[in-house]
């Protein structure tokens, strides 16, 4: 390799490193039609986060190739990598997938009277027979896709092409992340319902529009989920008090910028 080519490659590598080290404010908007306020936006690289305003707009500092994670109670968690095109443009739009809750099947009988109040009382939901109804023990939860370990996907005797592809493509990795965030979102929703918004604003001084974000921040870095699940409410309050000091300080620093 000639010196000229070597120095050219060196300059290119230096340019890429410089670009990767740069940080800029990324402006974004959630394009869903409803429930676009208060969506949590987390930079997985820097751990800094923000939330969307009433119009779905947000602003967050990013570097090239950072990964942003979007999540809320209403939507499925979504990840977005900051590509060169996104970084240079400095603007993104994101549409999230809604969390769909399946309802029990409803059967309407033909003998309706036309009186809505009376007819509603006649409507019954048909629930599927579970294991308890027939006296057989078994799993009663909602079945989830099984993640096949890599050492089972490829063996000396066979190759599971679908499982191998899902490992190589990162599908299983994304699935694990999505399940983790669904679990955390459910935990946050339960804590919000148990303590109420006013408790966090009055006791810890957390702004009302940042309570969800504060709880998600707490679940990411502590054992508060298991403490709450096991009804160790004293430990939960100690964790909240400790994290509230860090979180309110962070808000104060954001406001100074």
Residue 49 is assigned to a structural domain of this protein: yes
Whether 12 maps to a domain, the answer reads no
Note whether residue 111 is domain-resident.
no
Cβ atoms within 10 Å of 46's Cβ, excluding its own? 13
Indicate whether 87 and 168 sit together in one domain: no
Residues 179-197 have a mean pLDDT of 78
Residue of 168, 173, 167, 14 whose CA lies nearest to 81: 173
Q: How confident is the model at residue 214 (pLDDT cuts 50, 70, 90)?
A: confident
Pairwise pLDDT comparison (7 vs 166), residue with the higher score: 166
Which has the higher per-residue pLDDT, 138 or 55? Answer: 55
Q: Is residue 99 part of a domain?
A: no
| 126 Cβ neighbours under 8 A, 6+ residues apart | 104, 105, 106, 107
Residue ranges making up the domain that contains 201: 150-256
Q: Which residue has the tokens 């936006």?
A: 41
Whether 85 and 156 share a structural domain: no
**Distance, CA of 188 to CA of 35 (rounded, Å):** 17
User: pLDDT value at position 47?
Assistant: 75
| Number of domain units in the chain | 2
116 falls within a domain: no
Q: Specify the pLDDT at position 110.
A: 53
Q: Answer yes or no: is 233 within a domain.
A: yes
3-state secondary structure of 160: coil
35-44, 123-132, 213-222, 226-235: the lowest-pLDDT one? 123-132
- According to the model, what pLDDT value does residue 16 have? 47
Q: Do 179 and 245 fall within a single domain?
A: yes
pLDDT computed for residue 179 by the predictor: 67
């Amino acid at each position: 390799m000639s010196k000229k080519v070597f120095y050219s490659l060196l300059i290119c590598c230096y340019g890429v490193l410089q670009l990767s080290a740069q940080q800029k404010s990324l402006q974004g908007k959630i394009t869903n039609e409803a429930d676009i306020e208060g969506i949590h936006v987390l930079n997985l690289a820097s751990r800094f986060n923000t939330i969307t305003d009433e119009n779905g707009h947000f602003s967050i500092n990013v570097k090239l190739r950072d990964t942003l994670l979007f999540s809320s109670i209403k939507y499925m968690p979504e990840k977005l990598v900051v590509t060169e095109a996104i970084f240079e443009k400095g603007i993104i739009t994101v549409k999230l997938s809604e969390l769909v809750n399946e309802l029990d099947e409803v059967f309407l009988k033909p003998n309706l009277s036309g009186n809505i109040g009376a007819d509603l009382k006649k409507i019954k939901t048909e629930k599927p027979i579970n294991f308890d109804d027939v006296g057989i023990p078994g799993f009663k939860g909602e079945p989830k896709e099984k993640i096949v370990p890599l050492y089972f996907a490829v063996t000396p005797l066979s190759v599971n092409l679908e499982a191998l592809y899902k490992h190589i493509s990162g599908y299983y990795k994304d699935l694990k992340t999505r399940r983790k965030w669904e679990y955390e979102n459910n935990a946050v929703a339960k804590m919000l319902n148990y303590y109420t918004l006013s408790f966090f604003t009055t006791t810890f001084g957390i702004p009302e529009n940042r309570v969800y974000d504060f709880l998600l921040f707490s679940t990411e870095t502590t054992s508060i989920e298991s403490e709450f699940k096991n009804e160790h409410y004293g430990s939960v309050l100690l964790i909240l008090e400790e994290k509230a000091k860090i979180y309110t300080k962070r808000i104060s620093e954001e406001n100074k910028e």
